[in-house]
Amino acid sequence: MPKAYDNDLRRKVIEAIELNGMKRCEASECFGVSRNAIYQWFRLKAETGDVHPKPTEHRGHRHKIRDWEKFRVFVAANADQTQVEMAQLWEDAISGRTISRALKPIGFTRKKRPMATENEMSKCEQTSVSS
């Protein structure tokens, strides 16, 4: 979402139009803002009495797990459980996928082996099988 114009610029544009009699299209070109923005500022001033931008709402999802230290202790105590089982044991109603997403920021991995297993066939056996 783009950043709102500065309040000082908004006031200067409004004053130039109201006090100096400048047309809105001239103010638009002079100050480098769109005419639509100027119309919105006048509408905002009529509604609220000021040209301060409205506070923006937080975008994105709200995290269901907020106490990360408590979650770390929970994961350490239930490390042998599956993610679905952990979700059922957690105090709030959450899904196994939520548990999966929450494990990544705390650095917990579900991988059981420290290294991937190597292919047990040697190279010469692989060439003889493929021939």
User: How far apart (Å, rounded) are the C-alpha atoms in residues 74 and 44?
Assistant: 49
Residue-wise pLDDT for 18-29, tens only, equals 998 899 999 999
Q: What is d(CA 98, CA 71) in angstroms, rounded to the nearest whole number? A: 12
- Of residues 68 and 115, which shows the higher confidence score? 68
Q: 17 falls in which pLDDT band (50, 70, 90)? A: very high
Categorize the per-residue pLDDT at 116 as very low, low, confident or very high, splitting at 50, 70 and 90.
low
Does residue 47 contact residue 88 with C-beta atoms inside 8 Å? Answer: no
- At 62, list the tokens: 């709200």
pLDDT tens profile 44-98:
999 988 888 877 776 766 778 888 899 999 998 998 888 899 999 998 899 989 9
CB 87 within 8 Å of CB 94: yes
Q: Where are the domains of the chain?
A: 7-48, 68-103
